[in-house]
Amino acid sequence: MVGALGPGSGAGRAQLQDGGRHDAEAAAAQLGGAVIVAVLATIPVLVLPDSVQLDVARLVLAGFVALIGYAVARESGASRLRLVLYAAGILVVATVVAVLKNVLAGH
């Protein structure tokens, strides 16, 4: 039984190949998301006055987080009210995480 599912079997190789493809897709999605976040955070810093750069960058990134939450909920076929509530919930959780990170880091 162990040999039938081991790495030398066809089933084991198929599972490893599928897992590798999934890992590559997940890595590409994470890299793409990181690039988008970096660009969204950089644009306000490059084009706006110093007095508003960080506030606008925070708002843009918060909007991006909410938009992603909305898009994920929309994929599930949820009602518009559930979409908004889900996006708001994601935004609240992200804010709590950011505040906790700042508190724990001593900022």
pLDDT along the chain (107 residues), means of 10: 48 55 88 94 94 90 86 86 87 87 83
pLDDT value of position 71: 85
Q: How far apart are CA 107 and CA 51, in angstroms?
A: 20
Domain spans of the chain, in order of start: 1-47, 50-107
pLDDT value of position 65: 86
Within 10 angstroms of residue 81's Cβ, the number of other Cβ atoms is 8
pLDDT value of position 76: 85
pLDDT value of position 5: 46
If you write DSSP's letter for every residue of 77-92 in order, what string do you get?
T--HHHHHHHHHHHHH
Residue 60's alpha-carbon distances to 71, 96, 99, 106, in angstroms, are 16, 17, 17, 25
pLDDT value of position 23: 86
Cβ-Cβ contacts under 8 Å for 71 (sequence gap 6 or more):
none
